[in-house]
Amino acid sequence: MNLLTELVAFVVAIGVLVVVHEYGHYSVARLCGVKVLRFSIGFGRPLLQWVSKKTGTEWTISALPLGGYVKMLDERESPDTIDAADLPHAFNRQPVSKRIAIVAAGPVANFILAIVLFGAVYASGVTEPAAIVATPPAQSAAAQAGFQGGETILSVSNASGSHTEPVRSWADLRWKLMSTAFEHGRVVLAARDGASTYDFPLDLSRLTSQDLDDDFMSKLGLEPGGGTLRIAGIEPGSAAQRAGLEKGDRLRAIDGRPVDSASSFIAYVKAHAGKPVQLSIERGGAVQSEVADSDADNNADDNAGATRGNPSNAAPSKPQTLTLSVTPAAQRDEETGSEVGRIGAALSAQAPSVEVRYGPIESARLGAYRTWDIAFYSLRMFGRMLTGEASLKNLSGPVTIADYAGKSARLGPSAFLSFLALVSISLGVLNLLPIPVLDGGHLLYYAVEAVTGKAVSDRWQLVLQRAGLACIVALSAIALFNDLARLIHF
């Protein structure tokens, strides 16, 4: 049943994304007066086909549903069979500006689809982390503003107090601070601590452009908190096992600092390689019937999650508070190459969340922001893989996509729509890469033509197309290898 769900979800996802991408090319080509000969969903032998009486376009559904194409009238392909009356409608006869618009329309359509899908998710309601602040690092902007951890942020105001906006979730807080951070201004955060509300002036002027490209919230010392952090698993022979940590232990403090955020705990452990730290833990109490099964550890690829099981019939024992000393083992970080601390324990985090529903305009704005954020991150990841700063293991192929399509479909409509939006963005970014045979390669040709006034020669286009095809085959092979490696765990 799971396999069937994955196949159906995968076919639906690919079908939607291909249709949207190719319809972007088709619609702009029609607007530019170019005659479209064929609109094909899939490759290979046609299974269904019909011809539009109005436009003369042949619409086709083919046997291999892993892509599609729009074939336009082009005298370079069949110069002897085109009627003289149709020559003005040939793609190659169009000015370079129209050709750029037609080629760019496919990726743009993918980005528009992502904005619409994310907007629909925001409008229908999403569950997001609550705007509760974790204990900030010393000397961070958040610490200097007076945050100690556990405060719930209620609103954001400008320095003069003339404009105030409510904060509904952590994502909402991030968006509002991002808008102000670009102006390098100051804000006042109103937050509730217990029964009282206080103002916390936050200085954003120290943020650099690089900080805004990265996780600027962490740079400010702001991390979501208020959650419960537990040990989900212990590696045999690890520092955690030697220190006496056990599965199910609740982490309360590290070196006297309250623990309510997985990321801040991991960062602290990383920074103390070979140095003993004191962990305050709570053991016993309510019986933990199930702890998240995760191989996440305190390294760069940590993932934290929590599941909730049925309570045990056994009477809970009184929780016991212990202090354990653990010395993180030094280990080389694959991402940075530096030495970091590791205790060999998987973490399970359960953070407070809120249900948030946005209006149509704000949903569209948030959808556009998230689309831009993911597209920019994807582009940077491609660049890091080219320079060797990121592993090629990050590439995924159709097997992984099908797996995630099935999983997101089982989680519900919102998860599946978010998955569709994510893949649509990836498809748009991939097609904009300046690789011949992709849309980005053709845009590169037309950019050269626009600057020099001369089209790239057919000979050079043929050479570059072969090189581009080799790149695509290589990327596909790596992605397929990664799929198989994840599937059979080698």
Q: How far is residue 80 from each of residues 71, 77, 83, 195, 411, measured CA to CA in Å?
A: 17, 9, 8, 83, 55
Catalytically annotated residues: 22
Tokens of 296: 């996440």
**Rg over CA atoms, the chain:** 27
Containing 354, the helix (H) or strand (E) segment is strand 353-356
Question: Which of 294, 473, 479 is CA-nearest to residue 402?
Answer: 479
The whole-angstrom separation of Cα 264 and Cα 266 is 5
Question: Any idea how long the chain is?
Answer: 490
Burial class (CB in 10 A: 0-12, 13-18, 19+), 33: exposed
Phi and psi angles of residue 26, each rounded to the nearest 5 degrees, phi first: -60, -50
Phi and psi angles of residue 202, each rounded to the nearest 5 degrees, phi first: -115, 125
Contact residues for 41 (Cβ-Cβ < 8 A; gap 6+)? 15, 18, 19, 22, 60, 61, 62, 65, 68
